[in-house]
Amino acid sequence: VEFQSHFEADYSATAWVHSLADCTTMLCAPFGSLIVNRWSGRVSVMLGGLLSSCGLLLSSFSNSLEFLYFSMGIMMGLGFALCYTPAIVMVGCYFRERTALAYGVGLSGSGIGTFVLAPLVQSLIDLYSWRGALLVLSAFVANLC
């Protein structure tokens, strides 16, 4: 809603921002695997955290929806892809027994995170505007580095 009112765009135009981020995350997950195999999961997560944080930071200065497509949709999505794959891989490395349960608990984290972050992000928007909320989220994601 904030993007719709600020950029005077309809729902479908602003929905592309998050759709691109989700699509980029899933399509680029194999790159995360390549980095994990070549170097390590830590390197992949650190690169992903840096990319995601920079994408959110740049998004807070956006003056157009097209720039958000790049910064939040592509850049942040690629960063999340580099973090997502090692998270899945590490479960299998550390849990030799009850692996299925460990994967179930681990994967439920994204659903729980979405559930918890929605009201938190709305509170940040109410307090600091959407630009300030993106800055706070950028700092939060930078902790992955």
Distances (CA, A) of 49 to 33, 55, 61, 74, 140: 15, 10, 19, 14, 10
Q: Confidence band (pLDDT; 50, 70, 90) for 110?
A: confident
Count of the separate structural domains present in the chain: 1
What does the pLDDT look like over 34-84, one tens digit per residue?
Answer: 999 999 999 999 999 999 999 999 999 999 999 999 999 999 999 999 999
Q: Which two tokens stand for residue 99?
A: 């692996």
What's 63's domain CATH number?
1.20.1250.20
Q: Confidence band (pLDDT; 50, 70, 90) for 1?
A: confident
pLDDT exceeding 70 applies to what percent of the chain? 100
Q: Give this prediction's pTM.
A: 0.92
pLDDT over 90 (residue 92): no
Range of the domain at 106: 2-144
What value does the mean pLDDT take over residues 73-96? 93
